[in-house]
Structure 1
Amino acid sequence: MGFPGTWMTESESMVYRVVPKCACSTIGQIMYYSDHGVFYDGDIHDAQQGLHKWARDDSQPIIKANVKTRSSYAFTCVRNPYTRVLSSFFDKICGIQRNGKRYRGNLVPLLIQKYGIEVGGDDGKDEFDQIRSFRRFLLFVRDTIRWRRPMEPDIHWSAISGHVSTFIVNGGRYNKIFWTEQFNDGMQDVLDHIQTPHAVDLSSIPRFNESEGHGPKRLHPVEDYFDDLSMHLIYEIYKRDFELFKYDFDNPANKMPIGEIDLDEVHAKLGD
């Protein structure tokens, strides 16, 4: 299995388990900058050098050796399940991707046909009932995760705990898990524990939100998208995420965590 979704600086100062839709573009750029003193010119997900990635064959033995011996500071970043799945809908389903096409080719036509979802026309700019379409999208998300049909679950809306667990199951251990909602505090704590070739001043680092502007703007408060049935589906899909990462299931309007993450609990519950 190895360590899918794992990135590491070339200096081996830090190891990061990528969780999609959880500030991964910004974290990747910070890692790149900490080694090279400049940001990667483009989307960090496209970088084929300057950063070790499990998806690169030449990086795999280096990452594996480091993680197995726990030589470097290892961390990841998580996000409120309500806002994360909403962001996935507007970015991946309603939005046009950076290649100028729809995400995953025939996925959106499938959703329009099978689930009656609207996405704002060919360019995502027409008006449509965002709340109704999002709730239908949630049915699709549940179907992919519960029954793996009409397709396998996508990394952008599969549970955070599933991403986080592969690192643990295969022998890694996190030194830190922090919240996207308190990004500066969490990332600063990581930087305080390591030595990097180039100093990182978080206050001057831009936010690299590569998905911003792909899709239509969200028109309503988060809580308006979640009725009783939607919350039931969310709990069915993301129960573990709420429990382990201390988010407020009962109040979709509250994106902030309501407790401290217990690393021992995370490793115990996701390590089996």
Structure 2
Amino acid sequence: MGFPGTWMTNSESVVYRVVPKCACSTIGQIMFYSDHGEFFDGDIHDAQHGMHKWAMDDSQPLITANVKAHKSFAFTCVRNPYTRILSSFFDKICGIQRNGRYYRGNLVPLLIQKYGIEVGDPENGFEFDQIKSFRRFLLFARDTIRWRRPMEPDIHWSAMSGHISTFIVNGGRYDKIFWTEQFNDGMQQVLDKIETPNAIDLAKIPRFNESEGHGPKRLHPVEDYFDDLSMHLMYEVYKKDFNLFKYDFENPANKMPIGEIDLNEVHAKLGE
């Protein structure tokens, strides 16, 4: 299986396991800048040069050799499951993608038909019942993850622990897992541990939010989207994410972690 979703700088200064919806665009651009002294012109996910990615065949033997020997500092980044799934809904389900179409073509019509979801449209300012539609989307996300129907789960809403575990199961070990909610602190701790051809000043790095601006704005506080049933579904699907990465399941209004991530626990629980 190898190391899907793994990126590495050309200089092999650092290895990163991508977790979708967890600041991956910003992290990728920081890695690119650290080697080249400039940002990639475009969405870093589209970059076919300037860094190693598991999705590129030529990079696979280099990434494999590095990770198996633990030659470089390896890290990843996580996010509160409540805000992550909301972000996935507004970006991937309600938003028009860079190609001018809905995400994954027939996905949105399928959701409208099978789950009664509304997504609004740019013509009417995206007016629709966000809370009702989100809760129906959450039911769909649960169905894809638990029963793989009506389709396989998408990387943007499948559990973070699932993404992170592939790296461990196949022989990798993380040196750091940090939270998007404390991005600068966590990213600085990574940068302090590595040597890069170009210095990074995090205070001057823009946030590369590639999903922003092509969908409706979230109109309500996070907690308004999650009633008792929604929280039950969240725990059913993301129990490991809440527990391993120390997020507050009981209070959707609290996006901040409530404990320290124990790397030994993560490796033990996700390496099985």
Q: What is the TM-score of this pair, normalised by structure 1?
A: 0.99
Amino acid at match of 2:6: T
2:227 aligned with 1:227: yes
Q: Is the Cα–Cα contact under 8 Å of residues 93 and 119 in structure 1 kept in the other structure? A: yes
CA, structure 1 residues 96+123, in 2 after alignment: closer, same or farther (shift >3 Å)? Answer: farther
Q: Is the Cα–Cα contact under 8 Å of residues 77 and 178 in structure 1 kept in the other structure? A: yes
Give deviations 1:154-187, integer Å, cap 9, x for gaps. 0000000000000000000000000000000000
- Identity within the alignment, %: 85
2:176 aligned with 1:176: yes
Give deviations 1:187-219, integer Å, cap 9, x for gaps. 000000000000000000000000001210000
Between the two proteins, the alignment pairs up a number of residues equal to 272
2:27 aligned with 1:12: no
| Corresponding residue number in structure 1 for 2:113 | 113
- Look up the SS of the partner of 1:59 in the other structure: helix
Unaligned 5+ segments in structure 2 are none
Amino acid at match of 1:264: N
| Corresponding residue number in structure 2 for 1:48 | 48
- Look up the SS of the partner of 1:208 in the other structure: coil
Q: What is the TM-score of this pair, normalised by structure 2?
A: 0.99
Give deviations 1:82-122, integer Å, cap 9, x for gaps. 00000000000000001111000000000000000000136
| Corresponding residue number in structure 1 for 2:79 | 79
1:124 Cα deviation after fit: 7.7
- Look up the SS of the partner of 2:7 in the other structure: strand
Q: Is the Cα–Cα contact under 8 Å of residues 124 and 215 in structure 1 kept in the other structure? A: no
Deviation >4 Å, runs of 4+: none
Q: Is the Cα–Cα contact under 8 Å of residues 14 and 72 in structure 1 kept in the other structure? A: yes
Cα-Cα RMSD = 0.8
| Corresponding residue number in structure 1 for 2:202 | 202
Give deviations 1:108-142, integer Å, cap 9, x for gaps. 00000000000013668331000000000000001
CA distance in 1, matches of 2:45, 2:156: 14
Q: Is the Cα–Cα contact under 8 Å of residues 135 and 225 in structure 1 kept in the other structure? A: yes
- Look up the SS of the partner of 1:89 in the other structure: helix
Unaligned 5+ segments in structure 1 are none
